[in-house]
Structure 1
Amino acid sequence: MPFEADLAHALDRTTDSLEPDLTALLSGAVERGRSRRRRRRGAAVVAGVGACGVMAVAALVIPGALAWTRPAGSDLETVALAMPRSAITGTQMIEALKETLPGGRFSRMTGQSNNPADPSGGYVANGGLIVDDGHGAAMVGVSAVRLKLPLGDGDGLSCARTPARAEGDTCTLSQLPSSAAVPGGAVVMSERNAAEHPVRADTAHRWTVTVTLKSTGAQLQMVQWNSTGGGSGADTPKPTRAAPPLSEQQVVAALTGAVWSPILGAVG
């Protein structure tokens, strides 16, 4: 997803639950970035972590923070965010992300807190960074939000809601059964998108995995680039590695594991 789409997604997530027009968040968004809300879930995950990084970061992670706009002619309901159960700091998000990527060297770290006590402060918590695990630098970000129940066909819940994908881009859905770690089960949405089309040998890619708990609506989204992320189309930094730091299975295991459990509980 190009940077503008990522940013839009981040803004959407950030403002989903906000009543007035609050599109001011993003400084620390990580790229839950998603072609969808654009997709606009311009995920506030790590799409950039610096002055432009603020926006880039926003592009990285932020699941469906805003009640996104229903496509023209669609019979799908919009999806809105619910108030988090307790506050999560940007520092918590960054530390959890670092624990998820042990052994790496980190830079350009950024985080954003949610604020359950003040809707204008945003309902999205996120963190993003650049990690070098010895296989090349990569931008990685995670955002945390809570969707209103009952869950509908919204962000992170349906590949049909994403924009038409270009050749080579993918989106799949799967289910996690109920367990002690995931009471009530969860929906897992996995996406792979190229930064530009047609895809070339030096085109960067973004991998997005979204885990949504069915019982609470708590949702975590991780976005990974095989580059330092940010930019748009051909302006996106070139690949520094062939694959993201974590596989889809590793991401799901991490987001439903001990490191992220406190954050899932705080959100939902």
Structure 2
Amino acid sequence: MPFEADLAQALDRTTDSLDPDLTALLDGAVERGRRRRRRRTAGIVAGAGACAAIAAAGLVLPGVLAGTGSGGAGIETVALAMPRSAVSGTQMIHALEATFPGGRYSQVTGQGNNPSDPSAGYVANAGLVVDDGHGAARVGVSAVRLKLPLADGDGLSCERTPARAEGDTCALSELPSSAALPGGAVVMSERTAAERPAGAGTAHRWTVTVTVKSTGAQVQLTQWNSLGGGTGADVPEPTRTAPPLSEEQAVAALTGATWAPVLGAVG
């Protein structure tokens, strides 16, 4: 159900200490937020598989997804805004396939948002396995609208609790204002190992998040150098050394003509 999918989104956007199911990650874009700065502000746990906890807390806030950091050490509140217009699952799938032209696609999934019904979904997403001739790789994408003004975290900050594992990387950059990116955009690029410590046969995940400053529209692309699925040692071994798209190619794709309609609809 779309509401349950968004509950899954809530937990995975706000819990660094838990390793998400990677299939759900790509189907539901659960990686959107494993990258936030923890703030010690008031909040309540919300998330997938935690309906009982939400009921016990008595908190269901449309547009506000709250969660705790590792071991309750920090609490943050992440605010989402309802998309301006609908994006269908089919639209997300077609845009994702167009991001990897010439590949063979399998295990294709997609989900749209529904601005007319807050309980039916804030997040549009798609996922698939692409084989571009250099090894099959699981990829996924999600689109959401953040409430303004933008705050630290949620694709806007490389700080996180707990500290990143050795070898993991994160970098922030900015893009200038343009017709496609009014007011400019923040780009966060990450490389994360599936296991800690990472070994020679460890799969990695590459994530690029683009957030439009003036609208809060955010699109995130996640690529694995494996078939993904599972967590930690359960993640399939690498099928290739690098992701299908380089960081530069991913940024160009997300800010180009293919994803412009989605960014416009979301923000």
Contact kept, 8 Å, 1:28 with 1:111, in 2: the verdict is no
TM (norm. structure 1) is 0.79
Contact kept, 8 Å, 1:60 with 1:142, in 2: the verdict is no
TM (norm. structure 2) is 0.80
Unaligned 5+ runs, structure 2: 35-62
In the alignment, the residues of structure 2 paired with residue 28 and residue 70 of structure 1 have an alpha-carbon distance, to the nearest angstrom, of 15
The residue that corresponds to 1:37 in the other structure is 14
- Size of the aligned set, in residue pairs, is 235
Letter of the 1:207 partner, please give it: W
Larger radius of gyration: 2
In the alignment, the residues of structure 2 paired with residue 126 and residue 62 of structure 1 have an alpha-carbon distance, to the nearest angstrom, of 11
In the alignment, the residues of structure 2 paired with residue 112 and residue 219 of structure 1 have an alpha-carbon distance, to the nearest angstrom, of 16
Question: Given the alignment of the two structures, is residue 58 of structure 1 paired with residue 28 of structure 2, yes or no?
Answer: yes
Unaligned 5+ runs, structure 1: 1-13, 15-21, 49-53
In the alignment, the residues of structure 2 paired with residue 176 and residue 204 of structure 1 have an alpha-carbon distance, to the nearest angstrom, of 29
User: Would the alpha carbon gap of residues 59 and 195 (structure 1) be closer, same or farther in structure 2, given more than 3 Å must change?
Assistant: farther
In the alignment, the residues of structure 2 paired with residue 238 and residue 262 of structure 1 have an alpha-carbon distance, to the nearest angstrom, of 35
The residue that corresponds to 1:69 in the other structure is 67
In the alignment, the residues of structure 2 paired with residue 66 and residue 127 of structure 1 have an alpha-carbon distance, to the nearest angstrom, of 23
- The offset of 1:63, in angstroms, is 5.1
1:204-225 per-residue CA deviation (whole Å, 9 max, x = no partner) reads 0000110000000000000000
* Aligned 1:209-224 pairs, distance under 5 A: 209-224=208-223
- The offset of 1:232, in angstroms, is 1.1
The residue that corresponds to 2:264 in the other structure is 265
Richer in strand (by share): 2
User: Would the alpha carbon gap of residues 27 and 243 (structure 1) be closer, same or farther in structure 2, given more than 3 Å must change?
Assistant: farther
Question: Given the alignment of the two structures, is residue 182 of structure 1 paired with residue 181 of structure 2, yes or no?
Answer: yes
Moved over 6 A (4+): 26-29, 40-44
In the alignment, the residues of structure 2 paired with residue 91 and residue 67 of structure 1 have an alpha-carbon distance, to the nearest angstrom, of 26
Root-mean-square deviation (CA), in Å? 2.8
Contact kept, 8 Å, 2:84 with 2:115, in 1: the verdict is yes
In the alignment, the residues of structure 2 paired with residue 200 and residue 41 of structure 1 have an alpha-carbon distance, to the nearest angstrom, of 20
Secondary structure of the residue aligned to 2:80 is coil
% identity of equivalent residues: 66
User: Would the alpha carbon gap of residues 26 and 217 (structure 1) be closer, same or farther in structure 2, given more than 3 Å must change?
Assistant: closer
* Aligned 1:76-91 pairs, distance under 5 A: 78-91=77-90
User: Would the alpha carbon gap of residues 63 and 118 (structure 1) be closer, same or farther in structure 2, given more than 3 Å must change?
Assistant: farther
Which of 25, 48, 57 pairs up with 2:5?
25
Contact kept, 8 Å, 2:15 with 2:68, in 1: the verdict is no
In the alignment, the residues of structure 2 paired with residue 70 and residue 27 of structure 1 have an alpha-carbon distance, to the nearest angstrom, of 14
